Structures are given as C-alpha cells and as structure tokens.
C-alpha cells in the first residue's frame, strides 16, 4: 500500500513540474500496483469485496459490469465494503485464501449515485472529464485480513432474467482466470504457473465460485444483491 | 504468422450484424449463435478487449486518452493473431486526437463497408436508441455525434465518433486500404451475390453451396426468432427488439415528407453516389393503407 502511495506522490510531483494535470493517477497506480502485487506473489483480481455476515465475498468482473454499484447496494443493506476495484488475495502456498485490506471507498458513476439516492454534491470526482465520484464507504481504514468465502463473477445477461449459479471445476477456473488483473503483464513475469496454482487452491480452501448474470436493466440491482446474500447463506 | 485485421465497418443499424452472422456461419459451417460471433474477432470498440489487451482500466482514462491508445490495441491484435480477424466497427475512419489514423494501415488488411439508405437508418436507429426520429435525423447530421459517449456511466464500448452520416460514408470510401462496399439493399434483394462478393473479397469460402447455406441459416426471421428465444447481447435494455423489421422501404411508411426531405437535403449527394434515389418520397396515407391491406 505504501509503495503504491509513494508511486502516486512521485507521479504527481513529476506532473506538477511539467505543468500537467494530476487528476488521473489511476492510469499509473492501478496497473502498476497490480504488477507489484503479482511480483510479491499475491493474486490481484478485478473485484470489489464486501463482508456479508462476517464472510468476505469478492464481486468480480471487468470494468462496467457493476461491481462497485453492487457493493454499494450491499453496503446500503448494512454490509461492510473492504476493497473496491482491486481485490488482492493470498492463496496457493498458505492454508486459507485471505483478502488484503483495500481503500474504504467506492468509485461510483453518476447514474449509480442517482439509482442509490446519493447526491453528488460534495463528493470528489475521480476524473475531470467524466462523472465518476469517490464515495466513502463509512467504515474507516481497514487493517485486518479477511478470509475469502466466495467469489461472484458478474457477467452480462442477454435475456431479462437475473440468475446466479454455482460454478465448479474447469468452468470455474476459466471464469476466475478471466478476472485476474493485468494478465498479460503477469504472463510476461512468468506468473502463469503460480496463478494456476492459486486459482486451483481456492476450492480446497472452501472458497465457492458463482456466476451472477445481470441484465442491463439497472432496476435489478436490489434483486442481484439479495441473490448474492442468499447464495452465501445456502 | 501475424494476421492483419479486416474491418467490418458501417454506420449503426446498416446491416453489420447480419453480415457478421453470415460470415460466422461461413467460417464455422454451423448454425450461428447471435450472442457468440467471437470466432470472427469481436468488436473493435469493445471496452473489455481494450482493457485486457493493454492491461489498463479504460474507466480511468479520458475520452482523448482512450482514443489515442486504440491504434496500439489494433497493432497488438494484428501482431498476435494467428488467424484472420474480422472486427466490427461503427467509428468513422478518422484521425485520433494525436493525429494518427484510428485504424492503422500497418494493422489493416482491408475493410468491408456496409451502407444502407439513410432514411431507413434513421427509422431503425430511432427504435434502437429509444429516441424520436427527429432527434436521430439531427444526430445523423451532426459532426459531433458519438456512440458510447456517456459521461454518467461506463458504456460497454469505447466512445466511437460517427461524424455526419455522409461524412462517415466518405471517410471509409477514402480509407488508404482496399474497401469493398456492399449495400444493405443488395444483401436483401440478392443475398447470394452480395455475400459471395464479400466472401471473395475477404478470402473466405465462397462456393455457391456454402454461401446459400449461410444465407439460409441467417434469414431475418431466424435471427428474430433467436432473439425472441434467448435475447441478444447488443440490444439496449430499453429497446423492444434489435432485429425489428429489416426491410428496404419500410422508411416510406415511417417518415413524413419533411423528415425525408431533411435527410436528402443533408446527405443527398452521397446518397446519389451510392444509388439511392433522393426523390423517392414517403408513402401517402392512402398508399400506406393499401400496403397494409395487402
């Protein structure tokens, strides 16, 4: 975490010295941080993490799939958000899959704020050219590791029905591989065997994998959150 | 051996999806799944593919930054692809903000450009977008029109500049690589000849039996039935259907004379160049009734 912040500070200094804007650091810090996690032998996934009834569940998927918005809906139901956008897990060479603490804030688009009834006034914008905002999740800094209980991979549903299904075996492995952060860079670092080991170790550690197929219709988010909670309790 | 990219380009709602369904069938020799035509090579503006290729998150980029990076993505695709890649694009052929072609010549093998009568495009586009026909006619005449340009959410596709309809057509006709133009109306009237021409250009199987089988497997009614049964990933959630009517002259029942006149006033020169008769008028109400009675 400190390494990532140091990177951001140095980047800001350089940009200021060049008279350039400093409002888009994530292009620098996000991928670089993910590479650093890989180099440290950890597994960065494209996921937000919410603790439901004491169990950490990672909501995973590519950008625009609704990870942060779904995390915000679960937060509004009283569940704690402990990471957004990047979920770093330790797995493979240890006894349990643990989630590293992330920043206690969510990045939400304006449409998501409107759906959630959060006024944008007073929120800091993440980008000057787009209506994306930092929203404090209200839990203060998260310091402790959490045991990962479940991974829910969000996919686009082509029909109108919202569905959640348990994935197992090869199909689960393929889905999980698709949500590994900076996969190309990781491959260049020779991380493929370790990633395979880490992903295949999740099931024996008791981590369940689910696929949540979400229609485009934004009105279905409450139902999606309820399905996630029900799946964890099943 | 690296394979350069074939672009399947069109203004939206001009028949590109049907073309891809036919090409998918020709390549796979199997019934097409409209939600899985990835065998061709995907969509050039797909955000997930962009993020995955570059290892960065386009959600953190400005529109200018993401557009400037798109040529790099296509160079990587061309360098890494081991088989021909056919990518759907709706962008006009234009320069990025940093001044280079969005679709690099070095990454490009050629392009098929599908064009449709802009009067029919206006009607279909209005249904697709959930906007009024008047709004869409104005969009088609605005040089600033973009697809995927929302600042309030993260669209599935990167922002695509469409330019004005006639500028979109002319930009592709002037592209510095081979471009095969096919009219949607030809695809409807004589699909075997139209698709055989496309397949020949793309160096795909073009024997009459293969083309006939692909045309039969992708009849409009079959695509409609598949959408009704399982849905279609490219349909906006608030649109009733993606495969809606697919006719040549349905616009004559849906546009009023003023709307048709505005389109021909803006785009008439290019319409004539492509063989569309700008003097063709919408049907009068009694003519429409006669058509409906038949």
pLDDT at position A226 is 94
Task: Say what angle helices B191-201 and B16-28 make with each other, to 10 degrees.
Answer: 70
What is the sign, positive or negative, of the torsion defined by CA atoms of B72, B75, B76, B77? positive
Mean pLDDT calculated for residue range B92-102: 97
Give the residue from B42, B43, B59 with the most A CB atoms within 10 Å of its CB, the best one to mutate. Answer: B59
Mean pLDDT calculated for residue range B278-287: 81
* B52–A30 C-beta distance less than 8 A: no
Query: Could you give the C-alpha distances from B86 to B170, B203, B206, in angstroms and in order?
Result: 21, 12, 16
Which residue in A has a C-alpha nearest to residue B53's C-alpha?
Answer: A184
Mean pLDDT calculated for residue range B289-293: 64
Q: Are A218 and A197 in contact (CB under 8 A)?
A: no
Q: How far apart are CA A123 and CA A125, in angstroms?
A: 6
Give the residue from B36, B50, B53, B55 with the most A CB atoms within 10 Å of its CB, the best one to mutate. Answer: B55
Report the length, in residues, of chain A.
234
Q: How far apart are CA A73 and CA B131, in angstroms?
A: 30
pLDDT at position B102 is 98
- Map residue A48 onto helix, strand or coil: strand
The Cβ-side half-sphere exposure at A215, using a 13 Å CA radius, reads 18
| Mean pLDDT, chain B, integer | 90
To the nearest whole percent, how much of chain A has pLDDT over 70? 87
State pLDDT tens for residues A198-232.
Answer: 999 998 889 999 999 988 777 788 899 999 999 98
Lowest mean pLDDT segment, chosen from A35-39, B24-28, B58-62, B221-225: B221-225
Whole-complex ipTM: 0.81
Q: Specify the higher pLDDT residue, A72 or B34.
A: A72
Lowest mean pLDDT segment, chosen from A111-115, B90-94, B165-169, B263-267: A111-115
Q: How far apart are CA B241 and CA B2, in angstroms?
A: 38
Q: How far apart are CA A17 and CA A28, in angstroms?
A: 17
For chain A, give percent helix, strand, coil, nearest 5: 40, 25, 35
Mean pLDDT calculated for residue range B92-112: 97
Closest CA to A179 of A160, A202, A162, A146: A202
Q: How far apart are CA B195 and CA B273, in angstroms?
A: 21
Lowest mean pLDDT segment, chosen from A85-94, A121-130, B194-203: A85-94
Give the residue from A27, A29, A181 with the most B CB atoms within 10 Å of its CB, the best one to mutate. Answer: A27
Write out the H or E segment, with its range, that includes residue A56.
strand A55-60
Which residue in A has a C-alpha nearest to residue B64's C-alpha?
Answer: A129
Whether the CB of A23 is below 8 Å from some CB of chain B: the reply is no
Mean pLDDT calculated for residue range B141-163: 93
Instruction: Write a three-state SS string for chain B.
Output: CCCCEEEEEECCCCCHHHHHHHHHHHHHCCCCCCCCCCCCCCECCEHHHHHHHHCCCHHHCCHHHHHHHHHHHHHHHHHHCCCCEEEEECCCCCECCCCCECCCHHHEEEEEEEECCHHHHHHHHHHHHCCCHHHHHHHHCCCCCEECCCCCCCCCECCEECCCHHHHHHHHHCCCCCEEEEEHHHHHHCHHHHHHHHHHHCCCCCCHHHHHHHHHHCCHHHHHHHHHHHCCCCCCCCCCCCCCCCCCCCHHHHCCHHHHHHHHHHHHHHHHHCCCCCCCCCCCHHHHHHHHHC
Write out the H or E segment, with its range, that includes residue A82.
strand A80-83
* A109–B154 C-beta distance less than 8 A: yes
| Mean pLDDT, chain A, integer | 85
DSSP symbol at A213: E
* pLDDT above 90: residue A109: yes
Q: Specify the higher pLDDT residue, A143 or B77.
A: B77
* pLDDT above 80: residue A137: no
* A30–B60 C-beta distance less than 8 A: yes
State pLDDT tens for residues B173-227.
Answer: 999 999 999 999 999 999 999 999 999 999 988 888 988 998 888 888 887 888 8
Q: How far apart are CA A186 and CA A93, in angstroms?
A: 18
Structure tokens at A142: 């998260």
pLDDT at position A3 is 59
What is the sign, positive or negative, of the torsion defined by CA atoms of B196, B198, B201, B204? negative
Whether the CB of A11 is below 8 Å from some CB of chain B: the reply is no
Q: Identify the band that residue A136 occupies on the pLDDT scale cut at 50, 70 and 90.
A: confident
Query: Could you give the C-alpha distances from A115 to A63, A220, B35, B76, B92, in angstroms and in order?
Result: 18, 11, 28, 38, 34
State pLDDT tens for residues A158-178.
Answer: 777 889 999 999 999 999 999
Q: Which residues of B touch A (CB under 8 A)?
A: 35, 47-48, 51-53, 55-63, 65, 150-156, 230-233, 236-238
A:26-45 residues touching chain B, CB 8 A cutoff: 26-27, 30-31, 34
Cα–Cα–Cα angle for A60, B68, A24, rounded to 5 degrees: 55
Structure tokens at B11: 């203004």
What is the sign, positive or negative, of the torsion defined by CA atoms of B89, B92, B94, B98? negative
pLDDT at position B13 is 92
Q: Label residue A74 exposed, middle or buried (CB < 10 Å: 0-12, 13-18, 19+).
A: buried
Over the range A192-212, which residues count as b (16 or more CB within 10 Å of their CB) and which as e? Answer: eebbeebbebbbebebbbbbb
pLDDT at position B2 is 65
What is the sign, positive or negative, of the torsion defined by CA atoms of B287, B291, B293, B294? positive
Query: Could you give the C-alpha distances from A43 to A38, A40, A216, in angstroms and in order?
Result: 6, 9, 29
The alpha carbon of residue A87 and the mean position of all alpha carbons in its chain are separated, in whole angstroms, by 5
* A158–B47 C-beta distance less than 8 A: no
Mean pLDDT calculated for residue range B121-141: 94
Q: Identify the band that residue A29 occupies on the pLDDT scale cut at 50, 70 and 90.
A: low
Query: Could you give the C-alpha distances from B38 to A89, B24, B35, B95, B222, in angstroms and in order?
Result: 31, 8, 9, 27, 19
Query: Could you give the C-alpha distances from A58 to A49, A218, B220, in angstroms and in order?
Result: 4, 20, 41
* pLDDT above 60: residue A1: no
pLDDT at position B76 is 95
């Amino acid at each position: 975490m400190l390494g990532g912040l140091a990177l951001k500070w140095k980047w800001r200094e350089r940009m200021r010295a060049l008279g350039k804007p400093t409002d888009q650091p994530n292009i620098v810090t996000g991928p670089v941080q993910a590479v650093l996690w890989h180099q440290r032998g950890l597994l960065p996934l494209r996921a937000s993490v919410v603790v439901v009834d004491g169990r950490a569940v990672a909501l995973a998927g590519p950008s625009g799939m609704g990870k942060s918005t779904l995390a915000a809906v679960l937060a509004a139901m009283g569940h704690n958000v402990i990471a957004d956008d990047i979920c770093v897990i330790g797995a493979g060479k240890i006894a349990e899959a643990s989630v590293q603490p992330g920043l206690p804030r969510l990045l939400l688009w304006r449409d998501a704020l409107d759906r959630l009834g959060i006024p944008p006034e007073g929120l800091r914008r993440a980008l000057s050219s787009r209506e994306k905002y930092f929203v404090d999740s209200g839990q203060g800094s998260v310091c402790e590791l959490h045991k990962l209980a479940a991974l829910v991979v969000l996919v686009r549903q082509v029909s109108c029905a919202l569905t959640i299904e348990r994935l197992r075996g090869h199909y689960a492995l393929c889905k999980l591989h698709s949500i590994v952060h900076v996969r190309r860079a990781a491959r260049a670092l020779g991380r493929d065997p370790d990633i395979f080991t880490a992903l295949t170790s999740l099931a024996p550690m008791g981590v369940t994998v689910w696929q949540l197929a979400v229609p485009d219709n934004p009105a279905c988010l409450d139902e999606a959150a309820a399905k996630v909670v029900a799946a964890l309790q099943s | 051996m690296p394979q350069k990219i074939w672009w399947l380009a069109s203004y939206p709602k001009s028949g590109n999806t049907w073309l891809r369904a036919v090409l998918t069938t020709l390549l796979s020799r199997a019934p097409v799944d409209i939600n899985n035509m990835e065998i061709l090579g995907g969509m050039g503006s797909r955000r997930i593919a962009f993020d995955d290729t570059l290892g960065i998150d386009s959600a953190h980029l400005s529109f200018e930054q993401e557009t400037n990076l798109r040529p790099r993505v296509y160079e990587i695709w061309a360098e890494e692809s081991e088989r021909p890649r056919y990518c759907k694009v709706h962008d006009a052929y234009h320069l990025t903000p940093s001044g280079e072609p969005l679709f690099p010549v070095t990454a490009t093998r050629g392009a098929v450009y599908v064009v449709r009568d802009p009067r029919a495009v206006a009607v279909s586009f209005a249904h697709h977008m959930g906007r009024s026909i008047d709004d869409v006619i104005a969009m088609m005449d605005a040089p600033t029109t973009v697809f995927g340009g929302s600042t309030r959410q993260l669209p599935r596709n990167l922002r695509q500049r469409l330019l004005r309809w006639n500028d979109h057509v002319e930009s592709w006709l002037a592209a510095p690589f081979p471009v095969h133009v096919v009219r949607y109306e030809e695809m409807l009237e004589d699909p075997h000849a139209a698709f055989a021409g496309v397949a020949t250009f793309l160096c795909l199987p073009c024997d009459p039996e293969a083309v006939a089988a692909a045309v039969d497997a992708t009849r409009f009614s079959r695509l409609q039935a598949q959408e009704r049964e399982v849905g279609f990933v490219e349909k906006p959630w608030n649109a009733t259907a993606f495969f809606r009517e697919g006719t040549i002259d349905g616009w004559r029942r849906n546009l009023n004379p003023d709307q048709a006149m505005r389109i021909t006033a803006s785009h008439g020169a290019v319409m004539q160049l492509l063989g569309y008769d700008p003097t063709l008028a919408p049907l009068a109400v009694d003519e429409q009734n006669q058509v409906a009675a038949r």
